[in-house]
Amino acid sequence: MQRARVIAAHHAPEREAVRIARGQSAVLGAADDQWPDFIWATLAQGLGGWMPADIFHMDEVGTAIAQQDYDTCALDAEPGDLLTVEREHAGWWWAHDAHGRSGWIPARSIELIQET
């Protein structure tokens, strides 16, 4: 894991986070205008959220199947906050803050801290 400093505020959307498990199916909708690597995915329960398109595989009947687990939880952060970042996917980092909260934050909102 690596440390990062928040350089631009990020606020999570005011909707429930959606989790999809590997092997679960979803109906895919439109791509996001601002984040073209993301697509709106709706689960069988009716919940939907923006997810990276590359986590899905289309089977022979046109059903989108998740190839990995994914959680749409975003992390609220303010400039100057220090985070621990774990992994990057489609221009976003999975991060942990000093209060024990975790979620996605855009790569453009942070700067990685080079540890010496």
Percent helix, percent strand, percent coil in the chain, to nearest 5? 5, 50, 45
Percentage of the residues of the chain whose pLDDT score is greater than 90: 84
Please state which of the ranges 12-16, 53-57, 68-72 shows the lowest mean pLDDT.
12-16
The fold for domain 2-13+74-112 equals SH3 type barrels. (2.30.30)
Mean pLDDT value across residues 40-57: 93
* Average confidence score pLDDT of the chain: 93
**pLDDT score of 60:** 64
Domain ranges of the chain: 2-13+74-112, 19-71
Residue among 57, 73, 90, 85 at smallest CA distance from 19: 73
Greatest alpha-carbon pair distance for the chain in Å reads 52
**pLDDT score of 61:** 65
The pLDDT confidence band at residue 1, using thresholds 50, 70 and 90, is confident
pLDDT at 19 over 70: yes
pLDDT at 69 over 90: yes
